[in-house]
Amino acid sequence: MPRNCTIYRRAQFAASHRYWLPELSEAENLARFGPSARFPGHGHNYVLHVGMQGEVDEYGMVLNLSEVKQVLHQRVIQDLNFTYLNQAWPEFAQTLPTTEFIAYAIWQRLADALPLTSVRLYEDPELWSDYRGEGMEAYLTVATHFSAAHRLALDHLSLEENSEIYGLCARPHGHGHNYGLEVTVKGSIHPRTGMIVDLAALQQVIDHWVVKPFDHTFLNKDIEYFARVVPTAENIALRIQQLLTLPVRELGVQLHRIRLQESPNNSSEVYGEFPLEELAATAVPAAQLA
Protein backbone atom coordinates (compact mmCIF):
# COMPACT_ATOMS: atom_id res chain seq x y z
CA MET A 1 0.00 0.00 0.00
CA PRO A 2 1.51 3.40 -0.98
CA ARG A 3 2.46 5.59 1.96
CA ASN A 4 2.34 9.20 0.81
CA CYS A 5 3.82 11.94 2.90
CA THR A 6 4.55 15.66 2.56
CA ILE A 7 7.87 16.90 3.86
CA TYR A 8 9.29 20.40 4.24
CA ARG A 9 12.78 21.80 4.00
CA ARG A 10 13.75 25.17 5.42
CA ALA A 11 16.42 27.46 4.00
CA GLN A 12 17.24 31.13 4.31
CA PHE A 13 19.01 33.92 2.49
CA ALA A 14 19.68 37.60 3.04
CA ALA A 15 19.09 39.97 0.14
CA SER A 16 18.05 43.47 -0.79
CA HIS A 17 15.56 44.73 -3.37
CA ARG A 18 13.90 47.90 -4.58
CA TYR A 19 10.44 48.54 -5.96
CA TRP A 20 11.09 50.84 -8.88
CA LEU A 21 9.65 50.93 -12.40
CA PRO A 22 11.78 52.96 -14.83
CA GLU A 23 8.74 53.86 -16.93
CA LEU A 24 7.37 55.82 -13.97
CA SER A 25 8.69 59.09 -12.61
CA GLU A 26 10.28 59.33 -9.19
CA ALA A 27 7.11 60.90 -7.81
CA GLU A 28 4.96 58.14 -9.36
CA ASN A 29 7.20 55.39 -7.96
CA LEU A 30 7.15 56.92 -4.49
CA ALA A 31 3.38 57.30 -4.64
CA ARG A 32 2.93 53.70 -5.74
CA PHE A 33 5.54 51.91 -3.64
CA GLY A 34 6.21 54.27 -0.75
CA PRO A 35 9.52 53.82 1.12
CA SER A 36 10.20 50.61 -0.84
CA ALA A 37 11.02 52.80 -3.86
CA ARG A 38 13.87 54.60 -2.14
CA PHE A 39 17.35 54.29 -3.57
CA PRO A 40 19.32 52.06 -3.29
CA GLY A 41 16.76 49.67 -1.79
CA HIS A 42 16.23 47.78 1.45
CA GLY A 43 16.90 44.25 2.69
CA HIS A 44 15.37 41.27 4.46
CA ASN A 45 16.36 38.02 6.06
CA TYR A 46 14.20 35.76 3.92
CA VAL A 47 13.09 32.36 5.23
CA LEU A 48 12.07 29.72 2.70
CA HIS A 49 9.95 26.62 3.32
CA VAL A 50 9.70 24.15 0.45
CA GLY A 51 6.99 21.48 0.58
CA MET A 52 7.48 18.19 -1.28
CA GLN A 53 5.32 15.09 -1.54
CA GLY A 54 5.94 11.46 -2.39
CA GLU A 55 5.88 7.87 -1.21
CA VAL A 56 7.89 6.85 1.81
CA ASP A 57 10.64 4.50 0.62
CA GLU A 58 12.26 1.51 2.26
CA TYR A 59 14.61 3.84 4.13
CA GLY A 60 11.71 5.75 5.65
CA MET A 61 12.19 8.81 3.48
CA VAL A 62 10.31 10.66 0.77
CA LEU A 63 13.56 12.27 -0.37
CA ASN A 64 17.09 12.34 0.91
CA LEU A 65 17.18 15.71 2.67
CA SER A 66 20.90 16.10 2.11
CA GLU A 67 20.22 15.95 -1.61
CA VAL A 68 17.31 18.36 -1.24
CA LYS A 69 19.62 20.77 0.59
CA GLN A 70 22.07 20.63 -2.29
CA VAL A 71 19.35 21.30 -4.86
CA LEU A 72 18.12 24.31 -2.91
CA HIS A 73 21.62 25.65 -2.53
CA GLN A 74 22.60 25.19 -6.16
CA ARG A 75 19.36 26.45 -7.70
CA VAL A 76 18.28 29.14 -5.25
CA ILE A 77 20.41 30.05 -2.26
CA GLN A 78 23.79 30.56 -3.93
CA ASP A 79 22.14 32.86 -6.49
CA LEU A 80 20.09 34.94 -4.06
CA ASN A 81 22.08 35.08 -0.83
CA PHE A 82 23.73 38.47 -0.22
CA THR A 83 22.54 39.86 -3.54
CA TYR A 84 20.54 42.75 -4.92
CA LEU A 85 17.53 40.76 -6.09
CA ASN A 86 16.56 43.10 -8.94
CA GLN A 87 19.74 41.96 -10.71
CA ALA A 88 20.04 38.41 -9.35
CA TRP A 89 17.84 36.56 -11.86
CA PRO A 90 16.78 37.64 -15.37
CA GLU A 91 13.08 37.34 -14.49
CA PHE A 92 13.46 40.09 -11.88
CA ALA A 93 14.40 42.55 -14.60
CA GLN A 94 10.89 42.23 -16.02
CA THR A 95 8.91 41.66 -12.82
CA LEU A 96 9.73 43.27 -9.48
CA PRO A 97 11.07 40.86 -6.83
CA THR A 98 8.13 41.02 -4.46
CA THR A 99 7.61 38.26 -1.93
CA GLU A 100 4.91 36.78 -4.15
CA PHE A 101 6.98 36.78 -7.30
CA ILE A 102 10.15 35.51 -5.62
CA ALA A 103 8.14 32.51 -4.35
CA TYR A 104 6.82 31.95 -7.88
CA ALA A 105 10.31 32.22 -9.39
CA ILE A 106 11.78 29.81 -6.84
CA TRP A 107 9.09 27.26 -7.75
CA GLN A 108 10.03 27.55 -11.42
CA ARG A 109 13.70 26.99 -10.57
CA LEU A 110 12.92 23.86 -8.54
CA ALA A 111 9.96 22.30 -10.33
CA ASP A 112 11.91 19.89 -12.54
CA ALA A 113 14.09 18.67 -9.67
CA LEU A 114 11.72 18.24 -6.73
CA PRO A 115 8.11 16.98 -6.31
CA LEU A 116 6.86 20.34 -5.08
CA THR A 117 3.60 21.01 -3.27
CA SER A 118 4.29 24.52 -2.00
CA VAL A 119 6.83 27.28 -1.71
CA ARG A 120 6.42 29.62 1.26
CA LEU A 121 8.63 32.67 1.55
CA TYR A 122 8.77 34.84 4.65
CA GLU A 123 9.90 38.41 4.05
CA ASP A 124 9.59 38.96 7.79
CA PRO A 125 7.60 37.26 10.58
CA GLU A 126 4.50 39.34 9.75
CA LEU A 127 4.52 39.00 5.96
CA TRP A 128 4.81 35.92 3.79
CA SER A 129 3.67 34.48 0.49
CA ASP A 130 2.69 30.99 -0.66
CA TYR A 131 2.88 29.65 -4.19
CA ARG A 132 1.39 26.25 -5.06
CA GLY A 133 1.89 25.85 -8.79
CA GLU A 134 -1.46 27.41 -9.72
CA GLY A 135 -0.49 29.43 -12.77
CA MET A 136 0.11 33.02 -11.70
CA GLU A 137 -2.08 32.77 -8.60
CA ALA A 138 -0.35 33.29 -5.27
CA TYR A 139 -1.27 33.85 -1.64
CA LEU A 140 -0.14 36.69 0.59
CA THR A 141 -0.47 36.71 4.37
CA VAL A 142 -0.32 39.69 6.69
CA ALA A 143 0.03 39.04 10.42
CA THR A 144 -1.04 41.59 13.02
CA HIS A 145 -2.56 41.69 16.49
CA PHE A 146 -5.03 43.40 18.80
CA SER A 147 -5.78 43.23 22.52
CA ALA A 148 -9.33 42.82 23.77
CA ALA A 149 -11.42 41.46 26.61
CA HIS A 150 -14.53 39.29 26.36
CA ARG A 151 -16.94 37.21 28.34
CA LEU A 152 -18.42 33.96 27.09
CA ALA A 153 -22.03 33.73 28.25
CA LEU A 154 -25.58 33.54 26.95
CA ASP A 155 -27.92 36.19 28.37
CA HIS A 156 -30.81 33.80 28.95
CA LEU A 157 -28.74 31.43 31.09
CA SER A 158 -27.69 31.78 34.73
CA LEU A 159 -24.07 32.13 35.79
CA GLU A 160 -24.09 28.50 36.87
CA GLU A 161 -25.49 27.36 33.51
CA ASN A 162 -23.01 29.48 31.57
CA SER A 163 -20.18 28.16 33.71
CA GLU A 164 -21.21 24.62 32.80
CA ILE A 165 -20.73 25.53 29.12
CA TYR A 166 -17.87 28.04 29.12
CA GLY A 167 -16.04 27.32 32.38
CA LEU A 168 -13.96 30.19 33.77
CA CYS A 169 -14.64 32.21 30.62
CA ALA A 170 -18.17 32.85 31.93
CA ARG A 171 -16.99 34.89 34.93
CA PRO A 172 -19.03 38.15 35.09
CA HIS A 173 -16.20 40.61 34.57
CA GLY A 174 -14.60 38.83 31.65
CA HIS A 175 -10.94 38.37 30.80
CA GLY A 176 -8.56 39.46 28.05
CA HIS A 177 -6.25 38.20 25.31
CA ASN A 178 -3.55 39.44 23.03
CA TYR A 179 -5.09 38.15 19.81
CA GLY A 180 -2.83 37.24 16.90
CA LEU A 181 -4.50 37.72 13.53
CA GLU A 182 -3.41 36.37 10.15
CA VAL A 183 -5.22 37.48 7.00
CA THR A 184 -4.46 35.60 3.79
CA VAL A 185 -5.60 36.82 0.38
CA LYS A 186 -5.22 35.23 -3.03
CA GLY A 187 -4.89 36.75 -6.46
CA SER A 188 -2.90 36.85 -9.68
CA ILE A 189 0.66 38.13 -9.75
CA HIS A 190 0.92 41.28 -11.86
CA PRO A 191 3.48 40.67 -14.63
CA ARG A 192 5.21 44.02 -14.03
CA THR A 193 4.82 44.91 -10.35
CA GLY A 194 5.04 41.30 -9.11
CA MET A 195 2.22 42.01 -6.68
CA ILE A 196 -1.19 40.43 -6.17
CA VAL A 197 -2.36 43.43 -4.15
CA ASP A 198 -1.20 46.81 -2.94
CA LEU A 199 0.27 45.76 0.41
CA ALA A 200 -0.17 49.16 2.05
CA ALA A 201 -3.82 49.24 0.99
CA LEU A 202 -4.38 45.72 2.35
CA GLN A 203 -2.83 46.66 5.67
CA GLN A 204 -5.01 49.78 5.81
CA VAL A 205 -8.14 47.70 5.21
CA ILE A 206 -7.24 45.28 8.01
CA ASP A 207 -6.44 48.15 10.38
CA HIS A 208 -9.61 50.07 9.50
CA TRP A 209 -12.11 47.21 9.68
CA VAL A 210 -10.61 45.07 12.43
CA VAL A 211 -7.58 46.22 14.39
CA LYS A 212 -8.62 49.76 15.27
CA PRO A 213 -12.27 48.94 16.08
CA PHE A 214 -11.38 45.84 18.14
CA ASP A 215 -8.19 46.91 19.89
CA HIS A 216 -8.42 47.67 23.61
CA THR A 217 -12.15 46.98 23.79
CA PHE A 218 -14.45 44.81 25.85
CA LEU A 219 -15.91 43.03 22.85
CA ASN A 220 -19.29 42.23 24.41
CA LYS A 221 -19.92 45.87 25.32
CA ASP A 222 -17.93 47.98 22.86
CA ILE A 223 -18.69 46.09 19.65
CA GLU A 224 -22.42 46.06 18.93
CA TYR A 225 -22.27 42.79 17.01
CA PHE A 226 -20.95 40.91 20.06
CA ALA A 227 -23.77 42.17 22.25
CA ARG A 228 -25.84 39.63 20.30
CA VAL A 229 -23.21 36.99 19.46
CA VAL A 230 -20.95 35.25 21.98
CA PRO A 231 -17.38 36.38 21.15
CA THR A 232 -15.70 32.99 21.04
CA ALA A 233 -12.56 32.70 18.92
CA GLU A 234 -14.69 30.99 16.28
CA ASN A 235 -17.27 33.76 16.17
CA ILE A 236 -14.63 36.49 16.16
CA ALA A 237 -12.90 34.83 13.19
CA LEU A 238 -16.22 34.55 11.35
CA ARG A 239 -17.00 38.21 12.06
CA ILE A 240 -13.59 39.27 10.73
CA GLN A 241 -14.26 37.19 7.61
CA GLN A 242 -17.58 39.01 7.21
CA LEU A 243 -16.02 42.44 7.71
CA LEU A 244 -13.14 41.89 5.29
CA THR A 245 -14.77 40.01 2.41
CA LEU A 246 -16.03 43.04 0.46
CA PRO A 247 -13.22 45.49 1.29
CA VAL A 248 -10.64 42.90 0.22
CA ARG A 249 -12.57 42.26 -3.01
CA GLU A 250 -12.44 45.99 -3.73
CA LEU A 251 -8.63 45.69 -3.72
CA GLY A 252 -8.82 43.15 -6.56
CA VAL A 253 -8.09 39.99 -4.56
CA GLN A 254 -10.13 37.44 -2.61
CA LEU A 255 -10.10 36.58 1.05
CA HIS A 256 -8.64 33.10 1.49
CA ARG A 257 -8.11 32.54 5.21
CA ILE A 258 -8.57 34.15 8.60
CA ARG A 259 -6.57 32.72 11.47
CA LEU A 260 -7.17 34.00 14.98
CA GLN A 261 -4.76 32.99 17.74
CA GLU A 262 -6.56 33.60 21.01
CA SER A 263 -3.85 32.14 23.25
CA PRO A 264 -0.88 29.78 22.88
CA ASN A 265 -3.36 26.91 23.32
CA ASN A 266 -6.37 28.12 21.31
CA SER A 267 -6.78 29.27 17.73
CA SER A 268 -9.46 29.32 15.08
CA GLU A 269 -9.39 29.37 11.27
CA VAL A 270 -12.00 30.06 8.62
CA TYR A 271 -11.41 29.73 4.89
CA GLY A 272 -12.80 31.53 1.88
CA GLU A 273 -15.06 34.52 1.65
CA PHE A 274 -18.10 35.17 3.81
CA PRO A 275 -21.10 34.04 1.71
CA LEU A 276 -21.95 36.96 -0.54
CA GLU A 277 -25.66 36.17 -0.52
CA GLU A 278 -25.67 36.52 3.27
CA LEU A 279 -23.88 39.85 3.01
CA ALA A 280 -26.47 41.01 0.50
CA ALA A 281 -29.32 39.74 2.69
CA THR A 282 -28.25 42.02 5.52
CA ALA A 283 -29.07 45.02 3.31
CA VAL A 284 -26.36 46.89 5.23
CA PRO A 285 -23.78 48.86 3.25
CA ALA A 286 -20.21 47.63 3.74
CA ALA A 287 -19.28 50.89 5.45
CA GLN A 288 -21.79 50.11 8.22
CA LEU A 289 -20.86 46.49 8.86
CA ALA A 290 -18.50 47.30 11.72
pLDDT (mean) for 63-91 = 98
Task: Write down the pLDDT at residue 2.
Answer: 66
- Binning pLDDT at 50, 70 and 90, where does residue 278 land? confident
Report the distance separating Cα 222 and Cα 217, nearest Å.
Answer: 6
Homologous superfamily assigned to 136-290:
6-pyruvoyl tetrahydropterin synthase/QueD (3.30.479.10)
Task: Write down the pLDDT at residue 151.
Answer: 98
Average pLDDT, the chain: 95
Q: In degrees rounded to 5, what are phi and psi of residue 57?
A: -90, -175
Residue 224 has pLDDT above 90, yes or no: yes
Strands 266-271 and 83-84: unpaired
Task: Write down the pLDDT at residue 290.
Answer: 44
- Summarised one tens digit per residue, pLDDT across range 16-47 is 999 999 999 999 999 999 999 999 999 999 99
In sequence order, what are the beta bridge partners of 264? none
- Binning pLDDT at 50, 70 and 90, where does residue 277 land? confident
In sequence order, what are the beta bridge partners of 44? 15
- Binning pLDDT at 50, 70 and 90, where does residue 1 land? low
**Is 136-290 in the same CATH topology as 1-132?**
yes
Q: Give the three-class secondary structure for 153.
A: coil
- Binning pLDDT at 50, 70 and 90, where does residue 5 land? very high
- Summarised one tens digit per residue, pLDDT across range 193-209 is 999 999 999 999 999 99
Report the distance separating Cα 23 and Cα 37, nearest Å.
Answer: 13
Report the distance separating Cα 250 and Cα 243, nearest Å.
Answer: 13
- Which amino acid does the sequence have at 88? A
Q: Residues 183, 114: contact at Cβ < 8 Å?
A: no
Active-site residue list: 169, 216, 262
pLDDT (mean) for 275-280 = 84
- Binning pLDDT at 50, 70 and 90, where does residue 163 land? very high
Report the distance separating Cα 47 and Cα 163, nearest Å.
Answer: 44
Q: In degrees rounded to 5, what are phi and psi of residue 13?
A: -155, 155
What are the residue ranges spanned by the domains of the chain?
Answer: 1-132, 136-290
- Summarised one tens digit per residue, pLDDT across range 100-130 is 999 999 999 999 999 999 999 999 999 999 9
- Binning pLDDT at 50, 70 and 90, where does residue 288 land? very low
- The class that CATH gives domain 1-132 is alpha beta
- Binning pLDDT at 50, 70 and 90, where does residue 281 land? low
Q: In degrees rounded to 5, what are phi and psi of residue 230?
A: -65, 125
Strands 137-150 and 175-188: antiparallel
Q: What is the dihedral of CA 196, 274, 128, 252, to 10 degrees?
A: 10
